[in-house]
Structure formats: structure tokens, C-alpha cells
Structure 1
């Protein structure tokens, strides 16, 4: 007889959690039109993404200040498509796992996003920066 109250309480708690979670998800805000990508998308053209990164690093080496050169030097691949009007870029870096430690990982990610905005100008473009593990550090920074 002792098990019946415990079992009933357990089942009731499970039902509350199940229906309570469903109720919470119904009221959650929807993603905006651009959307936030928390994990680095799959690289379907590694040759192109590495070429994009090399061009970005070369631009920073020529045009950037010391902070930009250092931060952009951590860029390994740039995925996505963009043109003069719109697009999304996903920047893969070695932040939090490269050959040398980054003292301010978030600052480096911000610098990369700002440098990308200087490098590529667009009416409606967005850049997101990811660490070495593919986790988003900066999302939807307008460039």
C-alpha cells in the first residue's frame, strides 16, 4: 500500500512536467527572420571556406591594426554565401584551442566580427564567429 501513493505522485509529477514543458514552448518567442545558429554549420566546400579565410587574413594583414591582425590570424575557415546585398558568413576560428592561448576570447571574437564588417560591406549581411569547438561566440553581427 505504501507504493501506490508514491507511484501516483511520481506519475502526477511526470504529467505536470510533460504538460508544463509543452505549455512553455508554445509561448516561447520564435526566431527572427535571420535566425541564430549556435553551432557552426557543416562545411560543404572546405577548399572554398579555407580560401575565404586566407583572403580575409591577407586583407587584415594589409589593412588591419595590430589587434585585428592578431585576432583575424586565428580564422581558419569562412563558410556561407554573401554578395554585395545580403548573406550570412560563419567564421570558424581556433579560439579556445589554438597553439597559443587567447587572453580575451570574447574580445578576439568581437574584433574578428568588426574586421569582417570592414572587409565585406553589405546591405543586410550578418557574420557569426565560432570557437574551435564550433560553439557560437558572436551571432548575427551586421556587416
Structure 2
């Protein structure tokens, strides 16, 4: 997205506004980068998905994944065995107990989600307590 703004700015700066046009080069079926947590339109469902995810990690995850899963508050999104997007909301960078390595915790959550669900073209992103992306578009 930033490169598009730079390109548009360059066109305006050199006076090519008549010849510049926006071309979306994102491949069909590819996830777009979601830098902020999307709205949660079904809070009961996202809480249930978070509970299911934490329960699975508690039973099957690594030590790091289990510790990281305790930070999960909601799992937003829809996916199936073919495609979908998951957005994991956490209390990383907030909460009562600080996380020493937020990025390692976010990566452990993305890896755990990949182990929990499997999709041909699924993507998981992990967000901190403020809704800012820590890990985006990890395949699962």
C-alpha cells in the first residue's frame, strides 16, 4: 500500500496525472495485508473460536505455543479447508503481565494456528492489544 502512495505521489510531483493509473497487481486469491485488526462483527463467535484454539493448543501445542495461547482474546474470521483469513486478537503489549518478546509470541501463535487448521490458501494474522499487526498473512 505504501508503494502505491509513493508511486502516485511521484506521478503528481512530475505532472503525469493524466497518464498515471492505478493497477492492482495482487494475484487473485491472495490475502491482502491487514495492518489493523478488522472489526469483530460476531463477538460470541470470535470468543468461542479463541476458546477452541486455546484448548487445542493446550492439548497439542509446544511449550512456547501454550504460553503464547494464553494471550489470545479473540479469533476473528472465517476459513475452511480451501481458503480463508483468521485474525488473532491478543493482549500482547498490554495486559497484566508484559510479554518479553512480542514478535516471538506472535510467531508462536501463527505457527500454532497453522498446526490447528490447515487450508490450501488460508492466512492468519496476529494483532497486539491495540489492534496493530505483529504478524500478517502467514499461511496455514
1:72 and 2:65 matched? no
TM-score, normalising length from structure 1? 0.80
Alignment of 1:28-107 (within 5 A): 30-31=25-26, 33-107=30-104
Residue 26 of structure 1: CA displacement?
5.8
Q: 1:141 to 1:27 in 2, by over 3 A?
A: same
Unaligned runs of 5+ in 2: 1-8
Larger Rg: 1
Root mean square deviation, CA, Å: 2.5
Shift of 1:28: 9.1
Q: How far, CA to CA, are the matches of 1:89 and 1:80 in structure 2?
A: 5
Q: Do the aligned partners of residues 18 and 122 (structure 1) sit closer, same or farther apart at CA in structure 2, a change above 3 Å counting?
A: closer
Query: Which SS does the other structure have where 1:80 is aligned?
Result: strand
Greater helix fraction, Structure 1 or Structure 2 = 1
- Cα distance in 2, alignment partners of residues 22 and 114 from structure 1: 47
Gap regions ≥5 residues in structure 1: 1-15
What is the Cα deviation at residue 98 of structure 1? 1.3
Aligned to 1:132, which of 129, 133, 140?
A: 129
Partner deviation per Cα, 1:5-52 (whole Å, 9 max, x = no partner)? xxxxxxxxxxx99932986x9689755532100000000000000000
TM-score by length of 2: 0.82
**TM superposition outliers: structure 1 runs of 4+ over 4 Å:** 25-32
